[in-house]
Amino acid sequence: MLSYRHAYHAGNHADVLKHLTLMLTLDYFNQKPAPYWYIDTHAGPGSYRLDQGPAARTREFDTGVGKIAGVKPRPKSIQRFLDVVGCAGKDGLPPVYPGSPEIAQRLVRSDDRLRLFELHPTDFDTLNKHFAHAGKQAQVSKTDGFAAIKALLPPPTRRAVVLIDPPYEVKQDYDTLVATLEDGLKRFPTGCFLVWYPILARPESRRLPKKLLKLGETARGWLHATLEVSAPAADGLGMTGSGMFVLNPPWMLADQLAEALPWLTQHMGEGVPARYQLDSHSE
């Protein structure tokens, strides 16, 4: 199935959690001079218009970046995040919201490399055009990112950040994700793997965190953060929040999210059900 289009959900509460975690991770990798690779298994088109098209019709960004862009005071990490995504206009929202590939491009250095995968034909064409002038720094491939990363691990740099955030529109995505991570850790035990997942009523979504925690026992460390902003709908459908699971996380990430998550919960939550959870372990 190739029906999922993230443009309808750009800038929502799940994007805020995902992109904040990604930004903090890349900032940490930038502290060391040695180059690294950024690998994105489901890259999407690269960026999204908020003032027209699908995002403007659904306005899901009102549940995420739109809720926090004008709020002050704010934690240092949130300020950094808003600067990176471009929330500096009069109303706080940029006309274009960056996806994970664009955020990475804004943060990586000249010696770092981007490897981006997108299977949806329309989104791939947009992503390919988006990075047409990036030269050798970025490679865009129209292929299944789950399968493709096997050939990239370990990268020549022996340093990499791998973001895996499939659409989860088919049940197999959950099992494929776990299998991909298991294989990735065998090939590249020191790699930093970031996994985003939705919090849904469906059983596959509820079982995934336990599987990830079990897999985390084989890594040198792990971090698990969730942010739930609303109660389930009456029919039980819809995404109430999302989670980020990080294998081999930066050592500062837990403290940074411990400061940011209460603030995000306060300002993006929709009443009493709003909550967050943060757990981590390191050797």
Catalytic residues: 165
Residue entry with tokens 């050592």:
251
Nearest to 18 by CA among 192, 198, 139, 191: 198
Helices 13-29 and 76-85: angle between axes, nearest 10 degrees? 100
Which runs of E-coded beta strand occur in the chain? 37-40, 47-49, 96-98, 113-117, 138-141, 160-164, 192-199, 221-228, 241-247, 275-282
**C-alpha to C-alpha distance for 275 and 283, rounded to whole angstroms:** 28
CA atoms within 13 A on the CB side of 262: 6
Do residues 54 and 232 touch, judged by C-beta distance below 8 A?
Answer: no
Contact status, residue 125 vs residue 48, Cβ threshold 8 Å: no
Q: How far is CA 102 from CA 46, 240, 251, in A?
A: 5, 26, 24
d(CA 102, CA 159): 20
Dihedral angle of Cα 164, 166, 168, 170, to the nearest 10 degrees: -120
CB 229 within 8 A of CB 274: yes
For residues 60 and 55, give the distance between their C-alpha atoms in angstroms, rounded to a whole number. 7
